[in-house]
Homo-oligomer: A and B are copies of this chain.
């Protein structure tokens, strides 16, 4: 057992941290001003991307790459502290080609796409030339149970015809977004097996019948790239655009979610560290009724609790990454559910305290806090609501208990 980062990890931390301070943070104000004008800040991003690519800070999230693919080839465990650092400036992941949903999309394209699909879509994604969207959640369906989803993917000759409405299609307004990995019902027959009814198809966003009807703000926050509502009306794509096999939809969705979820959690840790730092800074500066806030024991309690809540959550995230590296995504499924719940709650709790220390300023967009809170709140739903993850964890625990019935009988004291 060893709690130290490896020398390679420490070196990567230093390099990434240096890049952030030298290149990214100085552009932060301009990024937000541009985005506030409704313009996607590509002019800021592209030179940063080129620099990151050149310095080998690229595709940091992807452990296994072909020899010809660009990227740094880190394990999940090595990636974790880097995702933390990127998390502190939410838009910065794109600089290093580590943005959701591209990350998850690249992962399943890597594992399940045909050589033609890879050449057409994965390669430009790996090079950061295009961006992509995933189409899962639907506004009129309880989407936390994926088998509920109703968008249809109907075979018609050598095409699929798609009809449906998706929302929270993140990135659909990004100027570089080219495709959506769309999830829908390919086998509507009532006696089809529940987990084999859905498939994924790759839908070019410029296909006729695809309409981005609106951007849906999350807790009133409009992301520059959009969390969009997208309508598909008789959209036709060639059958070659099927990802994997017909009926593989549920399987691929599950594969996709493991790493996606842990990346969110890693960024959360970094964002909470930032919130805690800001909370301390502010508490040291502000005085009311003759004392700094830092001298008040209730504020001190918030700081201390934030400290050990973050530390605990980070350790759980790191252990999960380590397990994914050693035993695979599937073996860490319950671990991922746990960190997913832990991280989202952590984020709202820690950031909420920080906002309160900032007073009125905390609920304005002048600090990063109101966005970080909103995002944390959304994380209690994104990639599965807390309640589903809690159910997964409980079932595992109950199964263990069932398998060991009677193990603890001697701990009871029988009265006479």
The interface of chain A, by Cβ under 8 A from chain B, is 1-6, 9, 25-26, 28-29, 32-33, 77, 88-89, 137, 139, 142-145, 148, 167-168, 213-214, 216-222, 229, 274, 276-278, 280-281, 283-284, 286-289, 294, 296-301, 303-305, 307-308, 311-313, 315-316, 318-319, 322-323, 338-339, 341-342, 352, 355-356, 359-368, 370-371, 373-374, 377-378, 380-381, 385-395, 397-398, 400-402, 404-405, 407-408, 410-416
User: Within the complex, which residue of B33, B89, B311, B410 is in contact with A25, where a contact is CB–CB below 8 Å?
Assistant: B410
CB of A341 within 8 A of CB of B374, answer: no
In the complex, what distance in Å separates the CA atom of A3 from the CA atom of B308?
19
Residues of B within 8 A of A305 (CB): 390
A-B contact pairs, 23 of them (CB 8 A): A1-B6, A25-B410, A88-B411, A214-B415, A217-B364, A218-B363, A220-B222, A220-B365, A274-B411, A280-B400, A280-B401, A297-B298, A300-B394, A301-B394, A304-B394, A305-B390, A308-B338, A308-B393, A311-B338, A315-B316, A315-B319, A356-B385, A356-B386
Q: How many copies does the complex hold?
A: 4
Residues of B within 8 A of A362 (CB): 381
Chief secondary structure at chain A's binding surface: helix
User: Within the complex, which residue of B281, B303, B322, B355 is in contact with A1, where a contact is CB–CB below 8 Å?
Assistant: B322
CB of A308 within 8 A of CB of B360, answer: no
CB of A318 within 8 A of CB of B1, answer: yes
- Closest-by-CB residue of B relative to A373 is B219
- Known contacts A25-B411, A220-B365, A398 near B315 by CB under 8 Å: no
In the complex, what distance in Å separates the CA atom of A242 from the CA atom of B313?
45
In the complex, what distance in Å separates the CA atom of A148 from the CA atom of B291?
12
In the complex, what distance in Å separates the CA atom of A370 from the CA atom of B374?
10
Residues of B within 8 A of A6 (CB): 1
CB of B284 within 8 A of CB of A402, answer: yes
CB of B397 within 8 A of CB of A380, answer: no
A228, chain B: closest CB distance, angstroms? 12
CB of B378 within 8 A of CB of A363, answer: yes
User: Within the complex, which residue of B280, B288, B352 is in contact with A142, where a contact is CB–CB below 8 Å?
Assistant: B288
- Known contacts A338-B308, A415-B229, A303 near B29 by CB under 8 Å: no
Residues of B within 8 A of A5 (CB): 1
Residues of B within 8 A of A413 (CB): 28-29, 32-33, 365-368
Residues of B within 8 A of A283 (CB): 398
